[in-house]
Amino acid sequence: MLVFLNGQFISEAQAVVSVFDRSFLYGDGLFETMRVFRGVPFRWLDHMARLEQGARLLNITLPYSRDQLRDYARQLIEKNHLPESLLRLTLSRGVGPRGYSPKGADHPTLVMTLHPAPDANGEPIPQWRVVTASFRLPANEPLALFKNCNKLPQIMARAQADASGADEALLLNTLGEVVEAASSNLFWIADNVVCTPPLNSGILAGVTRLVVLEICQSLNIPTRELGITPTNLPRVQGVFLSLSSWGIVEVTHLDNQPLGRSPLVNKLQSAYAQIITEHRS
């Protein structure tokens, strides 16, 4: 597999960064993970917009334009013959002097890697069992909106899911609301309204979350952004997660208890599949 690193296509073994790189030292960077369908990254512009906004907040200068990155991504997919894949793009602040201050770190590192898509072998969309993790996300945290390289709470949550044989873990925020899962956004259905926590609850501004809200709008399904307590979540009509790799994944069990199931989830999955089929640009 070839890797894109700072303008070059190199082998995985050669794809290395300095031990003084700030993303290695402090997680001082951002990333995006996109599903590639038929050679084309899905929702490329949404991912770029989030990356650029995050880079502005962190004050990291993107070393390439959108068009250059798009062309490098195209070349990477072609060179690796992986038209059905996941594309990860990492932007690190790069090497700088010791210490937290970003002063003097002016040469960002940009990496793109390709990974086999989980469903590229024709696997059907799975249904997931989730557990509630004990690690909390700060509410009202502007950094959380972007896919930054500080993912220890998510890693710890995911390890708790692994330990109990679950597929994914839900995280609470510091206000005690269930707000997202380790690598996916949370939705539930209550009174036939599709609900999801608001962006200021401490969650990632997920691109697939946005697609789900757009689908609801186009199908005239009412939506609402609000918080939910761990006590109320098991009482809703249905729960699902959104993520780039799988799209919309239904949750069947929460902490080993079966959840309600709503036909709306399949309806949304079909609409999502339709969007993917039409996706070409």
| Nearest-angstrom CA–CA distance, 66 and 73 | 10
Select from 87, 35, 74, 28 the least CA-distant residue to 55: 28
7 lies in the site for a second copy, by CB under 8 A: no
| Nearest-angstrom CA–CA distance, 48 and 45 | 5
Stretch that binds a second copy, among 71-79, 152-160, 187-195, 256-264 (CB under 8 A): 152-160
Which one, 90 or 262, has the nearer CB to a second copy?
A: 90
| Nearest-angstrom CA–CA distance, 239 and 234 | 9
Which one, 149 or 216, has the nearer CB to a second copy?
A: 149
Site string for a second copy, 204-243 (x = CB under 8 A): ----------------------------------------
153 lies in the site for a second copy, by CB under 8 A: yes
Beta bridge partners of 190: 193
Contact pick of 143, 226, 273, 276 for a second copy (by CB under 8 A) = 143
Which one, 149 or 186, has the nearer CB to a second copy?
A: 149
Torsion sign across C-alpha atoms 14, 20, 23, 24: positive
Give residue 134's identity as a one-letter amino acid code: S
Stretch that binds a second copy, among 15-23, 66-74, 186-194, 222-230 (CB under 8 A): 15-23
* 265, two tokens: 């989830």
Contact pick of 66, 136, 261, 279 for a second copy (by CB under 8 A) = 136
The helix/strand/coil state of 87 is strand
Which one, 100 or 192, has the nearer CB to a second copy?
A: 100
Contact pick of 66, 70, 74, 88 for a second copy (by CB under 8 A) = 88
DSSP state of 177: -
CB 235 within 8 A of CB 259: no
Select from 226, 144, 219, 210 the least CA-distant residue to 182: 144
103 lies in the site for a second copy, by CB under 8 A: yes
| Nearest-angstrom CA–CA distance, 249 and 209 | 12
Which one, 142 or 260, has the nearer CB to a second copy?
A: 142
Which one, 49 or 156, has the nearer CB to a second copy?
A: 156
Q: Which residues bind a second copy (CB under 8 A)?
A: 3, 5, 12, 15-21, 23-29, 31, 57-59, 86, 88, 90, 92, 98-103, 111, 113, 115, 135-141, 143, 148-159, 161-162, 174, 182-183
